[in-house]
Structure formats: C-alpha cells, structure tokens
Structure 1
Amino acid sequence: MNVFLQAFAWIFAPEQWTGPSSIPIAVLVHLTYTFAAMLIAAVIAIPAGWLIGHTGRGREIAVGISGAARAIPSFGLILLLVLLFGVLNKPEAAMTAFVLLAIPSILAGAYTGFEAIDRRVLDAAKAMGMTPWQVLWRVEVPLGLPLLVGGLRSATLQVVATVTLAAYVNLGGLGQYIFQGLNLRRYDEILGGAILVAALALVLDGIFAVLQRTSVPTGIRIGTSDARSAPKRSSAVRTPATASP
C-alpha cells in the first residue's frame, strides 16, 4: 500500500507537470504515436476487410495473417525493426511495429462486421433495386460499423500498451518513466508510469465503448429494446385475464 501511495505522490508532484519531460508532454507523445499508427493501420485494414467481407474471398488468408501477427512478441518486433531500419530511423521502425500490431484487430472487425449481417437483409436490398455500391454503403457499412468500431477499440488498447515499449529506444511517451525508474530503482516512478498508461487505456476504452454503442443503427437499437420489453408488456396484459373469474 505504501508503494501505491508513493506512486500517486510521484504522479501529483508539481515537478512532474512542468518541463520537457512532464506528464502532459509524455501523454501527448504517447497519443501521437497511438493515433498515427491507428490511422495508418485503418487506411490499410478497413478497405481490405470490407473487400473480404463483401466478396467472401480471402477470409482464410486474412485469418491466417491476423493469427500470425498476433503471435509476434511486441517488444521483439520493435527491436527487430530498429535493427533492420537502422539506429537513425527509430521512429519509423517503431511506427511500423505499431501499425503491424494494429492491423489484425481492425481487419477482423471490418470483415466480421459484414459477415454478421443477415443474408436476407442483403437479398432484400438487392430486390429493391440497389446497386452493389448502394448495398455496400447503405446496408453493409452501417450494419457492420459496430463490429468495426470494436476492432478499432481492441487495436487501440494494444497499441497504447505497445507504445509504452517505445521508450526503450528513447522515443518518449509514458513508458519513459517505467524504464527510467528501472534504471534508477525508483519503484514509485515505475508504478506511477504504469498507472498513467493504465489510466490512458481506460479513458480510450471508455470513449470507444460509447462510440461502439452509438454506432449501432437506430432501427436496430429500437428493435432490440422493443424485443426486450415485449415479454414484460405481454405478461402485464395476460395477468388480468388469468385473474378474472
């Protein structure tokens, strides 16, 4: 318990909130790497996932690539890419690692969102005279959006955790406090850095949870709520009937 109190005391110490190595600067660097990697990964993975889900082709390859990418150790991948890119290209190497780790979850969310759509809905859209592009943008994309946002949510949490390792190659972020604390044997700083990373991950996860909930089409939300409340209404109607003589 004393270690936790010391960690929070370290976090809220005035000197941690001013200067080039302050917590706000570290959070900004951490978020910059995270959002940049997510943007690049989304540009690559979302169109590929939509194509797989729309055509039904290449799913086995996507599943294999996603499984293999998730099995790669994050720390080892960063060090390997730093060696391949060279010491002078550490940011590019780290960003490549973050993108590679984010792609599988986004890709899976994109194509599973399309696969989860009832085929009868697509048949009805085609029967109404919709073109393939209209079916894609008016039916498949809106209905598959919640699972896509779920994939983005999972990828963001993974990247946030992995960006912590970027400090090992002197790229800053919240991980710098953890590695600096290890070198100095400052356990309050180590735990404080870990708490900051966890807090940032929880905030981002909460934001994506709200986005995932609001991305569900209104008609589906209304239909689901009606279906849940229907038994209650029906039982309320039947009760007087059974009670009457």
Structure 2
Amino acid sequence: MGVLADAWTWLATGSNWAGESGVWHRLGEHVYVSGVALGLACAIALPLALWLGHIGKGGALAVNLSNVGRAIPVFAVLALLMLTPLRTAGQTPTVIALVLFAIPPVLTNAYVGMREVDRAVVEAARGMGMSGRQVFLRVELPLAHPLVMTGVRSAAVQVVATATIASMVGQGGLGRIITAGFNTLNTPQVVAGALLAAVLALLVEAVLVVADRLLDPRRRVAAARRATS
C-alpha cells in the first residue's frame, strides 16, 4: 500500500498537473491521439465491413487480411514510422500505428454482426417489398448493432491502453509520465501514470457502454411501442 499511497500523493500534488509535462497536457494529448485514431479506424473499417456483410461477398478475405495486423506489433510499426519523414509530423506516426491496430476488431465484429443476422428475417423483409437499402437500414443494421458496438468498444479500450507506448519513441500522451518516472527512478510517478491510463480506459469503456444503450435502435423501437400501447 505504500507505493499506492505515494502515487496518490504524486497525483494530489498540483504542480504535477501543470505545464507541458503535467497531467492535463499529457491527458489531452492521449485523448486526442486515441480519439483521432479510433475515428479514422471506424471511418475506414465500418463502411467496408457493413457493405461486405450486406452483400455477403469478399468479407472473409477482408477479415483475414485485417487480422494479419494483429500479428504486427504496434511498437514495431511506430518505430519504423519514426524512421520516416513522418517523425516531424507531430503525433501522426502514433495515429497511423493505432489506426492499423484498431481496424481488425472493428472490421471483424461489424462483418460478423451483419452475417449473423437471421437470413429468414432478411428474406422476409425482402418479401415485404423492402429495397436493399431499406433491408440494410431497418433490418440488418439494427440487429447487427450489438456486435458492431462491441468491436468499437474493444478497439477504443485497446487504443487508449496501447497509446501509452508512444512515449517510448518520444511521442506524447500519458506514457510520457510513466517513462519520465522510469528515467528518474520515481516509482510513485510510474504507478500514477499507469493508474491514469487504466482509469482513462475504464472511463472510455463506460462512456461507450452508455452510448451503446442510448443509440441502440432496438431500444428506441421498444420505447416507441411502449409509448403507443
């Protein structure tokens, strides 16, 4: 408990939160990089996965190719990017590495979610005269929503947690607090930085769980039925 108490003391010290090396600045960097990376990963993976899941073609190949990225260490990608001209482009190397890391869970879950929609339900919707667009928006997407959001949540938590390694190549984020603690043999600072990263990941998970429940189309349909009954 001594180390945790010392870490709490470090966190309770106001000077550790101020300035470019302070917690607030590093937290802002971490949230920005993680948010941009997750947003880009979703913008790339979701449309592709949902479309492939809808037409039922080429999805297995896309998923297998994306999963190859799981075998490539993020730190290796980041280190290689730091050897290119991108090293002078701010947080761009970190964003690129995290995007590549976040695409597989988003793409895989979204595709699987679409393909696991009961085909009988889809055919029934088509038999009622729904167009392909209507089937996609009103039937497939709502039913695939839980798995789609599971992939997004998984990617978000992984990105937030993994972004800490960016500090090992001089990039920003909460990892800089941890590496600074290692460099100065300041164990309470190391623990404090790790706790901040862990709490941030848990908060992101909690926020996305709430957002998932609020945005779930099945929940809105059920609420509308209760209101009209």
Tell me if 1:217 matches 2:200.
Answer: no
TM-score by length of 1: 0.85
- Aligned partners of 1:181 and 1:219: how far apart in 2? 48
- Aligned partners of 1:121 and 1:131: how far apart in 2? 14
Q: 1:12 offset after TM fit, Å?
A: 1.4
Residue 226 of structure 2: aligned partner:
none
Deviations 1:91-143 (A, max 9, x none): 22221101100111110121112112111111111011011011111211122
- Aligned partners of 1:130 and 1:50: how far apart in 2? 18
Q: 1:27 offset after TM fit, Å?
A: 1.2
Q: Is the 8 A contact 1:3 1:187 kept in 2?
A: yes
Residue 10 of structure 1: aligned partner:
10
- Aligned partners of 2:85 and 2:142: how far apart in 1? 40
Q: 1:53 offset after TM fit, Å?
A: 0.7
- Aligned partners of 1:117 and 1:188: how far apart in 2? 50
Tell me if 1:99 matches 2:99.
Answer: yes
Q: Is the 8 A contact 2:122 2:135 kept in 1?
A: yes
- Aligned partners of 2:82 and 2:110: how far apart in 1? 30
Point out where structure 2 has 5 or more consecutive residues left out of the alignment.
Answer: 224-229
Q: Could you say if the C-alpha distance between residues 156 and 219 of structure 1 is closer, same or farther in structure 2, counting changes exceeding 3 Å?
A: closer
Tell me if 1:169 matches 2:207.
Answer: no
**Percent same amino acid among aligned pairs?**
37
Q: 1:70 offset after TM fit, Å?
A: 1.0
Q: Could you say if the C-alpha distance between residues 12 and 140 of structure 1 is closer, same or farther in structure 2, counting changes exceeding 3 Å?
A: same
What aligned pairs does 1:1-245 form with structure 2 within 5 A after superposition?
1-89=1-89, 91-214=91-214, 215=216, 217-218=218-219
Q: Is the 8 A contact 1:34 1:160 kept in 2?
A: yes
Q: 1:176 offset after TM fit, Å?
A: 0.5
Residue 227 of structure 2: aligned partner:
none
- Aligned partners of 2:151 and 2:177: how far apart in 1? 29
Q: 1:60 offset after TM fit, Å?
A: 2.3
Q: 1:216 offset after TM fit, Å?
A: 5.6
Q: 1:205 offset after TM fit, Å?
A: 0.8
Query: Structure 1: which amino acid aligns with 2:51?
Result: L
Deviations 1:59-81 (A, max 9, x none): 22123223211111121121012
Query: Structure 2: which amino acid aligns with 1:190?
Result: V
Q: 1:85 offset after TM fit, Å?
A: 4.1
- Aligned partners of 1:80 and 1:19: how far apart in 2? 30
Q: Is the 8 A contact 1:122 1:135 kept in 2?
A: yes
Q: Is the 8 A contact 2:213 2:219 kept in 1?
A: no
